[in-house]
Amino acid sequence: MSKNAGNRDIEKRTDYETILKEFGIAKIDNVLPRIGEDHLLFRRGVVFAHRDFDKILDRIEQNKGFAIISGRGPSNDLHFGHLILFELIRYLQKKYDCKYYMPLSDDEKYVFRKVENLEGTAKLALENAIDIFALGFKPNNVHAYISSVTPKIQYLALTFSINQTYNAIKAALGLTGEENAGTIYYTCIQAAHILQPTVDDKFPVVVPIGLDQDVYMRLTRDIARKRKITLPASLYIRYMKGLTGGPMSSSSPETCVFLRDNPKTVKKKIMSAFTGGRTTVKEQRELGANPYICTIFDWFEKYFIQDDDDLEETRQGCLGGKLICGLDCKPRLLEMVLKYQEEHKARRKEVIKNLPKYFDHEIDMTVLDLESD
């Protein structure tokens, strides 16, 4: 899903309570007892809100099926900020033994001019898919496809197009009228991605997303109402902070660590990251630091430190001045990231052996540089 001006405005906002009320989204707290807190993403509020996930839980408790749908627009390598979303999907799929539909939205990246041509996304699409599946997905419950070459998606998008108006799309996305026609039609393709498992396979769906992407959910739910299709549910995640202190973005490499950054680059990025530390070591020993604005601690909390006691000890060590950013926390995160990269590379090799089994159509493995793996 591409980010327009309106989406970025929401991403910058911190008044979550107001946003949730404004768009009819519920806090995750009211369904958390039914989900459990065995995963840190739920336990620590990384998944913080939902719309209609209680209805998905009703189906689970009645031993009825559902599906997850969430894709990836292939325009760059994956970075660690992407992992939260796909780790959530992996966890839910394993916990509930459900299907996962994964569109690789090359059409999105093309119409929003993130790539020069559709052909150029073929390699990136497969590379992204390998990285995602290497988190622990098994091919038997995955339906992956490249959007532009999947006829059922293009058929559904055309079908849904009569249920959207230009004015509704323009208002929802904050368009100026200068955008190409593809950016408008893409909302219909996005709706096709989301609703296809329900239309074709009779599975109600849940879509894990960031709050800035909810505009597409609202447009899709409007189509579903008009066509009397079961409304898609959604789960909302908090993003990891970018290393510079602001949002993380692939287009700003200094804000993130890509899964395939080399060790030298990883070290430079992490050791230069924004923290809540003091000006000098002496001052930090005496006054402590602030973990609540620190990007390193944010990465610890949302992904890298699994044990709650360990995380609390790290928090208190920061507040009390026992831990120093450049001497303790940054080197620790660097070690964790480099270890993760090595393990991930090994998992990629296993996924590549079975990659065609994840896809609903034939794929061209020759576009991949398999020697680099």
Task: Please check the confidence at residue 322 and state whether its pLDDT lies above 50.
Answer: yes
Domain covering 253-356: architecture: Orthogonal Bundle (1.10)
Contact 33/201 with Cβ under 8 angstroms? no
Task: Please check the confidence at residue 11 and state whether its pLDDT lies above 70.
Answer: no
pLDDT bin (cut points 50, 70, 90) of residue 373 is low
pLDDT bin (cut points 50, 70, 90) of residue 13 is low
**How far is Cα 129 from Cα 359, in angstroms, rounded to an integer?**
10
Contact 117/77 with Cβ under 8 angstroms? no
Task: Please check the confidence at residue 195 and state whether its pLDDT lies above 90.
Answer: yes
CATH of domain 5-237: 3.40.50.620
| pLDDT score for 4 | 46
Bigger pLDDT: 152 vs 20: 152
Contact 310/336 with Cβ under 8 angstroms? no
Place of tokens 């001045």: 321
Say which residues have a Cβ less than 8 Å from residue 362's Cβ, sequence separation at least 6. 356
pLDDT in tens, 262-275: 999 999 999 999 99
| pLDDT score for 75 | 84
Task: Please check the confidence at residue 372 and state whether its pLDDT lies above 70.
Answer: no
pLDDT in tens, 180-194: 999 999 999 999 999
| pLDDT score for 15 | 67
Task: Please check the confidence at residue 3 and state whether its pLDDT lies above 90.
Answer: no
If you average pLDDT over every residue of the chain, what do you get? 94
What's the CA dihedral at 218, 224, 226, 229 to 10 degrees?
-160
| Domain residue extents for the chain | 5-237, 253-356
**How far is Cα 72 from Cα 103, in angstroms, rounded to an integer?**
7
| pLDDT score for 220 | 98
From residue 285, alpha-carbon distances to 165, 320, 338 in Å are 60, 7, 28
Least confidently predicted of 14-18, 82-86, 308-312, 320-324: 14-18
Least confidently predicted of 62-76, 109-123, 318-332: 109-123
Contact 103/53 with Cβ under 8 angstroms? no
Percent of the chain surpassing pLDDT 70: 95
Task: Please check the confidence at residue 85 and state whether its pLDDT lies above 90.
Answer: yes
Strand, helix or coil for residue 210: strand
Task: Please check the confidence at residue 161 and state whether its pLDDT lies above 70.
Answer: yes
Q: Give the residue-averaged pLDDT of 4-14.
A: 48
pLDDT in tens, 286-298: 999 999 999 999 9
Task: Please check the confidence at residue 169 and state whether its pLDDT lies above 70.
Answer: yes
Q: Cα 188 to chain center, whole Å? A: 21
For the whole model, what pTM was predicted?
A: 0.92
